[in-house]
Amino acid sequence: GLDYRDYVIVDPSLFRPADVNLLVGDASKARRRLGWAPKVRFEELIKMMVEADLALVAEQLAKHEMLERAKSEVHHSVEPLEPPVAW
């Protein structure tokens, strides 16, 4: 197949400031000034994120397995072609 790197040129000067690789937050100011407190503990948030990722992977795996079964059924239901007769 084709490799996109042979055709695509990335110009870092066109990156938007929002295109950052590392996002870090500190809720201490909101906690101090607003009395804000998170509704979900950090550990629970991590658990929710991992469970969501696992559910997505399970869904993708189920679709892949269904596709493979369908391809196998089609392969087994098609009769082999007779070889061409030499003239």
In a domain, 49, yes or no: yes
Residue 59 placed within a domain: yes
Residue 68 forms part of a structural domain: yes
Whole domain around residue 46: which residue ranges?
39-76
Residue keyed to tokens 């009769």: 79
Handedness of CA 62, 67, 70, 72 (dihedral sign): negative
* Total of domains in the chain: 1
Contact 38, 27 (CB under 8 A): yes
Q: What is the pLDDT of residues 7-60, one digit of tens each?
A: 999 998 888 777 667 778 899 999 999 999 999 999 999 999 999 999 999 999
Within a domain: 55: yes
Residue 86 lies in a domain: no
pLDDT of res. 87? 62
Of 4-8, 16-20, 65-69, minimum mean pLDDT range: 16-20
Residue 77 pLDDT > 90, yes or no?
Answer: no
SS3 70: helix
**pLDDT on residue 1:** 85
pLDDT of residue 63: 94
Answer whether residue 58 is part of any domain: yes
Would residue 67 count as lying in a domain? yes
Domain membership flag for residue 30: no
Which has more pLDDT, 81 or 55?
55
pLDDT on residue 61: 95
